[in-house]
Each structure stands twice: as C-alpha cells, then as structure tokens.
Amino acid sequence: MRFLLTDEQREFGRSLDALLRAADSPAVLRAWAAGDHGPGRALWGRLADAGVFALAVPEAYGGAGPLPVEAAVACVELGRHAVPGPVAETLAAGVLLAGAGGPVAEEWLPAIASGAAVVSLTLEGYGPYAPDADAADAVFTVTGDELRLAPGPGEPSASADPARRLFRPEPGGAPVAKGPAIRAAARAAGDTAAFATAALALGCGEELLRATVAYVKQRTQFGVPVGSFQAVKHRLADTLLGLEFARPLLYGAAVELASEVSRPGAGAGSAEGSSGAGAAVAAAKVAAGEAGYAAARTALQLHGAIGYTEELDLAWWLRRARPLRDAWGTPSVCRARVLAG
C-alpha cells in the first residue's frame, strides 16, 4: 500500500499555500474577529474555486468527493494560514447532507461545493455550539433522527479564539429531513469534522514551530542566538517530533475514511460508513490536537512576553491551538474512543 502523497496531491497543497500567502491571512483574521466577514468570504470564494469545499461533496451534487486525503492536504494548509470561518463544519455538512439526501441536499450541496454557502452545524454528543454561526448562510442541527435548519445563529458565547466565535443556535426550526439515515449521516459528519479539525490543528502547529524557529535564530542573548542553546534545541525537537508523529495518523485516518467510502454498501451517511474509521480519526485528532497545543506552548515560552502582544501575528495562531485541540472531541474523549475501538 502506498502511504506517500502523489505528485498531484503535493502540488495541490503547494498551490493552496501560494494562494493563502498572497491573501494576507493575518489581515483577514483581524477583520473577521472584528465582525467584518467580507475579506474572509472573498478568500472563501477563492478556496472554493481551487476545489477545497467540493472535496466533501459527492459528484452527483456538483462536488468532487468524498476525497479524504485531498481534504487533509487542504485543511493542513488552511490551518497553517489560520483561515477563518467554519471550515471543518462546512466540510462535515457536505457529508451530513449527502447522507440525508432529498431536497435539502439538492438545495445546499451545490452551494457548498461552489463556495456560495458557508455552513455551520451542531451534532449530538459534540456540544451545543456552532462556530461562526453569525457568518454562516445556514446552521444545521441534528437531534436524534431529525435534521433541522436553525432559525438563527443565537447568542454568542465566550471563545478563546476571537476569530472563531461560538454560538448556541436558536431552538426550533422545522425538520428538513428525518429518519434512521440521519443518525448514520450525523456519525459520518462527526468523524469528518473531527478529521478536518485534526488537520487544521496540525497545520496550526506547523506554522507555530516555523515562526518560533525563525525567531530564535534572530533573538540573541550573551551575544549568540538563543536557538544555539541546547535546551532550546531540545524543546524545538520535541515539538517537531510531536507534529511528525501526528502526520501519519492523520493520513492513516484519511485512508480509513476513503476505504469505507469505497466499500460496497458503505459511504457517507450509511449505517456502516464511519464506524470502522472512527478510532483512526480519534487517534489522529488527539495526536494532532496535542501536538498543535504543545507547539503553541513552545512558541509562547521561546518568544517570551512578546508572544502575548496583539501586534504580533503569532498571537492569532497561539489562541487558535487550544480551541482546535478541544473542538469535535477533547483529548480525553478521543482517547476513550481509541481504546473502545
């Protein structure tokens, strides 16, 4: 079995990196946190043109997916550049609505694939909050075997990341789909959200490590760069090891998800699709989330007091690492799922 990315997949990642470098993501983040979603929606449209949001939408609805490996490549890059918006939730909604089928899928899936729709959602067992619901065109909620479209984003709640605001969706809203297929689709969507969040966390950790390595090469003490100190080298090496150990778990989970989708009778929202891959996704989530958070702690320690400042772009990545670690499955929940699986 081949575990290396193909040339096309690597080129896809490089193209997204170039697109996002040109987009000035720190400026987009600052605008998003201030409530100005215009620059973020414009960037969302460019990412959609590159095919990012079509990766979780079946071809029958105008998408290109489901393609979990390519989705992992994309989300790592989006995490490295701290792209704002409900990225994991929109990808998960593609899986959820594909499993639901019917008019709701026909209405929303083409819009998700094209980037015309930004979507957030809540699922039972993952907490009551929908990230960035105020910027979303739709907020879906699943309770039992009912899928509903929330009538509004609801009231905001405190968030450690000001560019990732949390909302408890307004209750009510007529069911747009119901039945046993909704439960299965919600399980698959939960796995997709956790998987995408793991990739975002890995990318966030990579950028934190890159920025920290660059900083310790420039900062001097006793006339030499602090990066030459053995203790600093060991701390950075430990951070790198954590990220590199998480990477194969992430792509292993992508292979598991792809295998379940391609298995006869399985797929997004099927009764079987998502069960076997759940433990692999949980392992990737806990490894990537913990590695990203460790990278944030290393970055803050080695940058010193400057790491706290609002003026330093690094602060946006620092504040994103822990929410990504805990979203769509805390470390304790994911470890329990791995043991159970």
For every residue of 225-254, which 3-state class applies, written as one string?
Answer: EHHHCHHHHHHHHHHHHHHHHHHHHHHHHH
Distances in Å between the Cα of 28 and the Cα atoms of 82, 83, 213, 232, 305 are 9, 8, 24, 32, 25
pLDDT reading at 244 higher than 60? yes
Average pLDDT for 54-69: 95
Would you call 186 helix, strand, or coil by DSSP? helix
Band the pLDDT of 65: cuts 50, 70, 90.
confident
Whether the CB-CB separation of 152 and 190 falls below 8 Å is answered with no
The angle formed by the CA atoms of residues 314, 318 and 320, to the nearest 5 degrees, is 120
Half-sphere exposure of 218 (CA within 13 A, CB side): 6
User: Which of the 8 DSSP states describes residue 312?
Assistant: S
Q: Which of 340, 237, 329 is nearest to 284 (CA)?
A: 329
Distances in Å between the Cα of 130 and the Cα atoms of 175, 209, 262, 332 are 18, 29, 30, 21
Higher pLDDT, 14 or 305: 14
Beta bridge partners of 167: 130, 156
Q: Check residue 273 and give its pLDDT.
A: 42
**256-315 confidence digits (pLDDT tens):** 999 876 654 454 444 344 456 899 999 999 999 999 999 999 999 999 877 777 778 999
Higher pLDDT, 340 or 310: 340
How is residue 164 written in tokens?
Answer: 């990732």
34-48 burial, b for 16+ CB within 10 Å, e for fewer? eeebebbbebbeebb
**156-167 confidence digits (pLDDT tens):** 998 999 999 999
**214-230 confidence digits (pLDDT tens):** 999 999 889 999 999 99
